[in-house]
Amino acid sequence: MRLLIATHNPGKLREYSDLLTDFETDVVGLHDIGLSHLEVDETGDSFHANALLKATTYARASGCITIADDSGLEVDALGGAPGIYSARYGGEGLDDAGRRAYLLAQMADVPDEARTARFICVIALYHPLTGAHATCTGVCEGRILRAESDGSGGFGYDKLFVPNGFSESFAQMSAEQKHRISHRGQAMRGVSAALATLLGR
């Protein structure tokens, strides 16, 4: 079975490849099947809506059962921002480091006890032949640091986020440790049952 991971983010593709090692599937990315040029406007008003929109669009374009996610960081002191706009926070043209710097600047006056946040991930699966679909959700609660941590793991806001019960940021954790507790790891644990449902097993 060929399974398309519909993301342009190499960090996400790497994480999914790690998380799907136990599945008997041929995991491919957009570039592997000539769809790296296809962009989907994320016009949904929630992580769930955007994930399903992406999964549906890429599945129909590729003919493959497709996994797509929408994920992001919600910061309580910022009213839930950046939320569904996490990948575009601070405006167009910023890279990951620029978005982290912008977030820290927005939170400069927020005291430690109010720096609560969470990562949310909604994974959508779509079968292009039957139209069957499913979604899985994961949430990881934590807090935002006052400065970037060291560590070379992860991507995005990982250098700023420490999950509850830990002293290390996501960027400082091993991939295995992060997958056990992360929002994406949690959501992925529902994917096996969702795939079985899509395949009528």
Residue 153 in tokens:
């793991």
Catalytic one among 70, 76, 150, 158? 70
Burial 156-188 (b: 16+ CB within 10 A, else e): bbbbbbbbeeeeebbbbbeeeebbebbbbbbbb
Does the annotation count 70 as an active-site position? yes
29 CB neighbour count, 10 Å cutoff? 19
The Cα 54–Cα 60 span in angstroms is 10
Q: How far is CA 147 from CA 26, 97, 162, 170, in A?
A: 40, 12, 12, 14
Q: How far is CA 46 from CA 1, 83, 136, in A?
A: 30, 9, 14
What one-character DSSP code corresponds to residue 103?
A: H
Q: Which residues are catalytic?
A: 70
